[in-house]
Amino acid sequence: MKALKQFNWRLTFILDILAIIMLVSGGTNLFFAVVLTEGALWMVRLLWLSPAMLSYILRRLAQMVPIVLAVLALGFALIQLAPGDMFSQMELDPAISRDQLEMFRRQFRLDQPWYAQFFQYIWNALQGDFGFSRTYRAPVFAIVGQRAWNTILLSLTSLVFAWVLSIPMGVFAATNQYNWKDQFVSIFAFFGLAIPNFFLAFLLLYLISSTGNWLPLGGMTSVGFRNMTATQQFFDVLRHMIVPVVVIGTSVMATLTRVMRGEMLKIMNEQYVTTARAKGQTENKVVYMHALRNAINPMITLLGFQLGNVMSGAALVEIVVAWPGLGSVLLEAVLSQDLYLVVGSLVYGVVLLVIGNLLADIALALVDPRVRIS
C-alpha cells in the first residue's frame, strides 16, 4: 500500500506537463497556466504527503473569500465617491449626444446603485467575466494578465535582492554590536527607511544619465529585443531591472536588516547559545548554526506582508522608470475612473497578499519544529 501511494504521488508530476500544455494550447498565459497547474496538483499531492496541511490550506483559502469580497465592496464604494464616472470626459465632446452617453452608462450598468453594480460584478466574475476596460478597450482579465507577470517578476526579484543582502548585514551588525561596523549598517538601514522610493528612483536615473547612460533609463526591453538571442534577451531584461530592483529592494532590505539585527541580539543571549559556546564550538558555528536558524523565523512571518508592501511600492516606481507593470495601468484607471480595471487590480493585489501570508505560514511550519499545523 505504501509503494502504491509513493507511485501515485510521483505520477502526478507527469500530469504537470500535460496540464500546462493543455492550458497554454487553449490560449492561457504561460505564467497563469503554471500557477494554476501547480496549485491544483500540489493540493492532490498533499492527500498523500500531509492531509493536515491540506485541510489547513483549504480553510485559509475559504477565509480568503470574505476578504476579497470586502475589498471589492470597498473599491466599488470608494470609486463612487469621486465626482462623475468614466464617461464624464466624453460630455465635453459635442459629437456625442446625451442619449448616447446614457446608452453607454446603461451598457456598463453605471446607472445603477453601487451595491447593485457590486453584486452584478460578483455574478459575472463567477462566470469568468471580470468586466471590460473602456480605457484600453479590452477585457480586464486580459490586461491584468499581461501586466501582472512584469510586476510579479520585479517584485519577487526585489524580495530576493533584499533577503540576500539583509540577512548577512543583520548578522554582521549584531555580531559587531555598538562599534563602527554596526553604526554603518544602521545608518544605511535608516537611509533606506527614510528616503521615498520614487525619490531614490529619480536620484538614480539622474546619476546614470549624468555619468554616461551606463544603464537603461527606463522600460523593460531595448529596441530590437525580438531580434536578440534568448541569452541576450535575458541579460537585456536583467539590465533594465537593476534600477527598479535596487530602489524597491533598498526599503525592504532596510526593514529586514533592522529586524534581523534585533532578533540576532536577542537570540545570542539565550542559554542554548551560551551552552554551545561552553562546549567549545567555534563562533561561526554558534552564530550560523544555532542563532541564525532561530532568528530567521520572524523574517519568514514578515514575508507574507512584505509581498503586498512590495507590490504597492512597486506601482509608483514602475511609473517613474517606465516599467510596463500594473502601476501605470492602475494610475490611468484611477484617473479615468475605469471602474472595472480599478477593481480588477484591487482583486489582484489582495489575492497575492493573502496567498503570500499563507505561503509564509507554511514555510514557517516547515522550518520551525515548534510550529505544527494540525
Angle at the Cα of 149 from the Cα atoms of 146 and 155, rounded to 5 degrees: 140
Residue spans of the chain under pLDDT 50: 1, 3-4, 7
Helices 197-210 and 297-320 pack at an angle, to 10 degrees, of 60
Angle at the Cα of 34 from the Cα atoms of 365 and 312, rounded to 5 degrees: 70
Residue 7 DSSP SS3: helix
**Closest by Cα among 92, 93, 87 to 109:** 87
Contact 278, 243 (CB under 8 A): no
Cell, residue 209: 544619465
Q: Is the pTM of this model over 0.85?
A: no
**Closest by Cα among 305, 325, 306 to 315:** 325
Tell me: the pLDDT tens digits for 198-244?
888 888 888 888 888 888 888 888 888 888 888 888 888 888 888 89
Query: Looking at residue 1, what is its pLDDT?
Result: 43
Tell me: the pLDDT tens digits for 102-113?
787 777 777 777
How many H helices and E strands in the chain? 15, 2
> How many other C-beta atoms are found inside a 10 Å radius of the C-beta of residue 114?
16
Tell me: the pLDDT tens digits for 112-127?
777 787 888 888 887 7
